[in-house]
Amino acid sequence: VSLGGQEIIEGRLLAALRVLLASDMESVQKHDLNTLKSLDAEAPLGVANDIAVFRTLIALCVIALEHFPTKLVDDETLLKQGASGSTELAIQFRIQKKSVIIDVMRNLSRK
Distance of alpha carbon 78 from alpha carbon 47, whole angstroms: 42
Q: What is the pLDDT of residues 14-56, one digit of tens each?
A: 999 999 999 999 999 999 999 999 988 789 999 999 999 999 9
Report residue 108 CA to chain centroid gap.
7
Work out the pLDDT band at 99, boundaries 50, 70, 90.
very high
pLDDT tops 70 at residue 2: no
DSSP state of 54: H
What's the pTM?
0.83
Helix (H) / strand (E) element for 26: namely: helix 25-29
Class of residue 35 by CB neighbours under 10 A (exposed 0-12, middle 13-18, buried 19+): middle
- CATH number for the segment(s) 11-110: 3.90.1420.10
Supply the pLDDT for residue 4: 64
- The percentage of the chain sitting over the pLDDT mark of 70, rounded to a whole number, equals 95
Domains of the chain by residue range: 11-110
